Chain A
Amino acid sequence: MMADIAMEGITKTFGKVVANKNIDLQVKYGEIHALLGENGAGKSTLVNVLSGIYIPDSGSVYIDGKETRLNSPRIAAEVGIGMIHQHFKLVENMNARENILLGNKKGLLLQKEKLNGEIVALSERFGLKINPDQKVYDMTVGEKQKLEIMKVLFRGANILILDEPTAVLTPQETENLFEIIQKMKDEGCAVIFITHKMNEVMMIADRITVLRKGETVKTLTKEETSPQELAELMVGHKVDLSIKRPKTEKGRVLLEVKDLQAVNEEGIKTLRGISFKLATREILGVAGLAGNGQKELCEALAGLYPITGGSIEYLGESLVGKSPREISSLGISMSFVPEDRLGMGLVAAMDMVDNFILKDYYKQKGMFVDRKQAREKARQAIKKLDISTPGINNSIRELSGGNIQKVLLARELNSNPSLLITAYPVRGLDINVSYKIYDLINEEKEKGVAILYVGEDLDVLLELCDRIMVLCHGEVMGILDADKAGKEELGLLMSGEKTDKLGD
């Protein structure tokens, strides 16, 4: 008997890269089916095939037992497939109603009242609160996601695909999303849920298909498996899922920030009186939803972002007004991994050697650049961090995202910093590499480095850091001891509830 939605022998290649290799997937109506795998396992490619974005090289898709050629998103929508993309596909300067209506064919003119009624009715049925007249650029990430879900529901989709929907949500928003997903299931929809977080799978999925390196590993029911087994299937060998937190004696205070203030170009306050101390041999985590001042804080510390008030003292010396170069020569090093990975820190068109040299070429004498040392360093970094690259002279652009991040981190560690600022160092990396990077950070901590770690995964922050500072709208909501704090508490702080806990 064939499942309601069946993908058979799907193969999809991009140039030389095989993203999907003969993959099978079977999903039923009324079930939540998790698609689990590391980065590059082919999850997104597979569901993009199902939603008509990618056309597979071979293989077939059966919907309700009929073979269906999904040659475009329109055809996919017609057979009831709706996808909520990881990077939202919304038109920023249109309102919710317009985004929902895009591409619908009914009528020539836009009938506002009638449509608003339909939207509200549907949103109540699924517990999705949406204001049809709100512009997308005024929405929070959670609201945007709800709008994406509304979009596909409005078209009557009964096969819903969610591509890493929880990556950008607070714990509370995630719970809310799970309720919505549960309702979809109760209404008889098939839900395909992509993630690489084991705890979410165990919480909500009925069945789980694990992918690895573009191939199907296994499909199991939740009852017959465990997070440990899933992790091993994902990675392909035994893994230890705990992060070590070496006990270290906190040293002297290296960095003291008091009442730091800053405004952006539009005159909106981005940092509102941030104060904290950071000592050697400690990791201070920074939690918060993306865009709540983390980037500005990191850049202000590195001398890249103008501040309007407050002080930054490093061993008693003020950093305010110093150039980025002066600051970095004091031993302060920053690696910020932005969403597009290359946005800051590395030059995509340059090779590894030149990127390594970028930060200290000016210390060399003479007119010509001496690459000998940098070459040696690059070779060492490849070995130490297990960077996969055709060679040190290939431009960074050719490397995969994870490897680019390793290069960035390697360069920053190379300068033997005494204060390391690192933001989202494991963004988008798979389990193996992430753990390698946690180990590296711990190694630095034991060496006596003070570390400011901006992260997004609360579980990791709680396990890796000594203290966690929570930011919301550029304000410190509280500084908690990682030993004693819980996820719920952090989540509340992230959504703007203040605490008087400012533990040092």
Chain B
Amino acid sequence: MTVSFLAAAVVAGTPLLFATLGEIITEKAGNLNLGVEGMMLMGAVSGFYVGVTTNQPLLALAAAFLAGAGGALIFAVLTISLRANQVVSGLALTIFGTGFSGFIGQKLIGQVVPNNLKAFFKPFPFPLLNRIPILGEVLFSQDMFVYLGYAAAIVIGVYLYKTRLGMNLRAVGENPAAADAAGINITLNKYLHVLLGGALCGLGGAYLSLVYVPAWQENVIAGRGWIAVALVIFAAWNPYKAVIGAFLFGGLDIIGFRIQGTGFPVSLYFVDMLPYLATIVILVITSMKKSRENVPPKGLGVSYFREER
């Protein structure tokens, strides 16, 4: 019972994990992209559409990846090249993404994922690691998307903290003027990471439409993009902590069904509220805790212009 709940929490948390990792990379480059919800929707609808029409799982993934990156490209052009306000640009992207998915998804409503794709995204035990008691069942008897999520978190962690390029990226987000003076290409770094971040958000969205649901329903993301934005703060911009945060919120997301199953007398509406309530509580707590390590990148939200005086 508990093990199956935890395993389900991991599944529910995986779209959050992708989106959170994507937003972490974006914010590490000093750009606050509030369009996560929009990019997830774009990824969800594009992945689903290509999956249904081509019946090719890899093409569906590629479509989701590119759709997320495409959404991010709009944001990148606005905020990096044109130095527009990041908050407004991000919000606009969310609105755009919602409209985009609604438009493309009109004809998809009610369609289900073809069996070929379902088989491709079927859970399979991860060799060796699945034999660890409990953890093996919770973490390593999942579908390939989930494993991809682990891999993404680890790769991003190593990249950020162990490589020279990751260090350069952190410098861009912390103090672009210092990075620029050190000869780091600010524009290139920002573009690359904003696009990559958007692509990860797109993949997170596609997980919902292709695997989690797996059928097309309108507004399939249902606010998860916003939770991801909050999770970035919860994780203190650390990709490893993002894993914990995402799975925790995945658990809160599904706890309602479980409680209903037990017959415990609690309002369904209250249970549905839990993830959002927890988001608020966590934001309050993390903003009270002061530390010099767990702080947003200093240059977050500020456009950089070398010749500014």
Contacts and interface: CB of A to CB of B under 8 A. Distances in A.
A433 to B, nearest CB: 20
Interface in A253-267: 265-266
Interface of A: 14, 51, 53-55, 72-74, 77, 83, 85, 88-94, 98-99, 101-110, 135, 137, 151, 265-266
Contacts of A101: 164, 167
B292 A93 contact: yes
A103 B174 contact: no
24 contacts: A14-B309, A53-B306, A72-B180, A73-B182, A89-B175, A91-B179, A92-B175, A93-B174, A93-B292, A93-B295, A94-B167, A94-B174, A99-B178, A101-B164, A102-B179, A102-B184, A103-B182, A106-B164, A107-B164, A108-B164, A108-B165, A109-B163, A109-B164, A110-B167
B168 interface: yes
B164 A92 contact: no
B170 A103 contact: no
A92 B298 contact: yes
B164 A104 contact: yes
Contacts of A106: 164
A102 B174 CA distance: 12
A55 B307 CA distance: 8
A102 B162 contact: no
- State the main secondary structure of chain A at its contact with B: loop
B163 A102 contact: no
Contacts of B178: 88-91, 99, 102
A20 to B, nearest CB: 13
Interface string B272-301: 000000000000000000101101001000
B46 to A, nearest CB: 33
B82 interface: no
B163 A73 contact: no
B162 A103 contact: no
A83 B292 contact: no
A83 B181 contact: yes
A103 B298 contact: no
B212 to A, nearest CB: 36
A101 B167 CA distance: 9
Given A73-B180, A89-B178, A102 B171 contact: yes
B244 interface: no
Contacts of A109: 162-164
B183 interface: yes
B92 interface: no
A93 B168 CA distance: 13
Contacts of A135: 292
Nearest to A12: B307
A326 B290 CA distance: 33
Nearest to B295: A93
Nearest to A78: B183
B112 interface: no
B171 A151 contact: no
Contacts of B163: 108-110
B177 A89 contact: yes
Contacts, number: 84
Interface residues of B, number: 27
A264 B292 CA distance: 16
B21 to A, nearest CB: 21
Contact of B307 (A53, A83, A266): A53
B174 to A, nearest CB: 4
Given A73-B182, A102-B179, A102-B182, A93 B293 contact: yes
B165 to A, nearest CB: 7
Contacts of B165: 108
Contacts of B309: 14
Contacts of A104: 164, 182
A98 B179 CA distance: 11
Given A90-B175, A91-B175, A151 B164 contact: no
Contacts of B182: 73, 77, 89, 102-104, 151
Those 8 A-B pairs whose CB atoms lie nearest each other, nearest first:
A103-B182, A74-B183, A89-B178, A102-B182, A103-B183, A91-B174, A89-B181, A103-B184
Contacts of A91: 170-171, 174-175, 178-179
B233 to A, nearest CB: 16
Contacts of A72: 180, 183
Contacts of B181: 51, 53, 73, 83, 85, 89
B175 to A, nearest CB: 5
A265 B183 CA distance: 37
A92 B174 contact: yes
A104 B164 CA distance: 8
Nearest to A14: B309
B107 to A, nearest CB: 47
A359 to B, nearest CB: 30
Contacts of A103: 168, 171, 179, 182-184
Contacts of B168: 102-103
Given A73-B180, A91-B179, A108-B164, 14 more contacts: A14-B309, A72-B180, A88-B178, A91-B170, A91-B171, A91-B174, A94-B174, A101-B167, A102-B167, A102-B182, A103-B171, A110-B167, A135-B292, A151-B182
Contacts of A74: 183, 185
A6 B27 CA distance: 42
B303 to A, nearest CB: 17
Contacts of A266: 290
Nearest to B167: A98
A153 B309 CA distance: 26
A110 B292 contact: no
Contacts of B175: 89-92
Interface in B243-297: 290, 292-293, 295
Contacts of B164: 101, 104-110
A42 to B, nearest CB: 12
Contacts of A53: 180-181, 306-307
Interface string B165-198: 1011011001101111111110000000000000
B183 A73 contact: yes
Given A89-B178, A92-B298, A54 B162 contact: no
Contacts of B162: 109-110
A94 B307 contact: no
Nearest to A267: B290
Nearest to A51: B181
Contacts of A98: 167
B42 to A, nearest CB: 33
A442 to B, nearest CB: 33
Contacts of A73: 180-183
A53 B308 CA distance: 10
Nearest to A87: B177
A49 to B, nearest CB: 10
Contacts of A89: 175, 177-178, 181-182
Nearest to A76: B183
A55 B306 CA distance: 10
A104 B179 CA distance: 11
Contacts of A99: 178
A94 B170 contact: yes
Nearest to B177: A89
Contacts of A105: 164
Most buried by A among B177, B185, B290: B177
A184 to B, nearest CB: 19
Nearest to A105: B164
